[in-house]
């Protein structure tokens, strides 16, 4: 039977933290004097969120959304909210924090739902952008890295719930 192991590291922990510090600075400048709510899309964005909020230097509020994720690549399926927000986001400046945008279906769906709740503003911060397979075009205000068309794991991202704990982003290899 084939098993999966991690392969080449494509973004080191050092590079992740440096880039996230830059994103945190931009967010702090852009939202100064506002009332931002950062929303983490579970589970993939949990690690990015944890590092990002600790380099934001203005007061923020955080909340979490949990959605059904597709089991493997190519099984995009319907997106479903499993755990909704606790906070009412009407008249708030909302920043969605996501792990990766691939086709754009997941964020496209979430943005539509959250927009209907009348936030004052609604923006997106994403750690990884893989533009090769984009179907739904989305405005991304804060982007960590663009990556090539290859499946990646680590730093929150999983393959069938494995590898989320790795402190870097790497490829998979079949052994
Ligand atoms: P989209 O809806 O096609 O944009 O896919 C976004 C979601 O698919 C992300 O929130 C991830 O949970 C998952 N995903 C897409 N690409 C990868 C990957 O390379 N590794 C792990 N999860 C991924
Ligand atoms: Mg995800």
pLDDT at 71 (0 to 100): 47
CATH of the domain at 104: 3.40.50.2020
Domain ranges, residue 58: 19-147
Ligand 2 centroid – CA 163 distance (Å): 13
Is residue 116 situated within a structural domain?
Answer: yes
Asked whether 169 and 20 are in contact (CB, 8 A), the reply is no
- Nearest Cα to Cα of residue 128 among 52, 43, 51, 48: 48
The mean pLDDT values, 10 residues at a time, for the chain of 175 residues are: 83 98 98 96 97 98 88 60 96 98 93 96 98 91 96 96 97 84
Please report the pLDDT score of residue 126 as a whole number.
98
Closest ligand to the CA of 79: 1
Quick check: is 134 in a domain? yes
| pLDDT confidence of residue 2 | 61
Tell me if 107 is assigned to some domain. Answer: yes
Residue 173 in any domain: the answer is no
Does residue 85 sit within a domain?
Answer: yes
Report the pLDDT value the prediction gives residue 174, as an integer from 0 to 100: 72
Which of these is catalytic: 93, 99, 102, 129?
102
Q: Could you give the number of structural domains in the chain?
A: 1
The Cβ of residue 66 has, within 10 Å, a number of other Cβ atoms equal to 14
Predicted pLDDT of residue 74: 47
Q: What is the pLDDT of residue 175?
A: 67
Q: Is the CB of 101 under 6 A from ligand 1?
A: yes
């Amino acid at each position: 039977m084939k098993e999966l192991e991690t392969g080449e590291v494509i973004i080191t922990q050092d590079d992740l933290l440096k880039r996230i510090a830059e994103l945190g600075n931009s967010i702090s400048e852009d939202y100064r004097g506002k009332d931002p709510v950062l929303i983490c899309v579970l589970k993939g964005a949990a690690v990015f969120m944890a590092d990002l909020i600790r380099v934001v230097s203005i007061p923020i509020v955080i909340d979490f959304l949990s959605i059904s994720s597709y089991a493997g690549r190519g099984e995009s399926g319907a997106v479903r909210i499993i755990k909704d927000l606790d906070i009412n986001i009407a008249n708030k400046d909302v920043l969605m924090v996501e792990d990766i945008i691939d086709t754009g279906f997941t964020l496209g769906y979430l943005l539509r739902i959250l927009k209907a709740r009348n936030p004052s503003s609604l923006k997106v911060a994403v750690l990884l952008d893989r533009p090769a397979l984009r179907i739904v075009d989305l405005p991304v205000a804060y982007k960590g890295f663009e990556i090539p068309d290859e499946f990646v794991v680590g730093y929150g991202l999983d393959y069938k719930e494995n590898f989320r704990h790795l402190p870097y982003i790497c490829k998979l290899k079949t052994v």
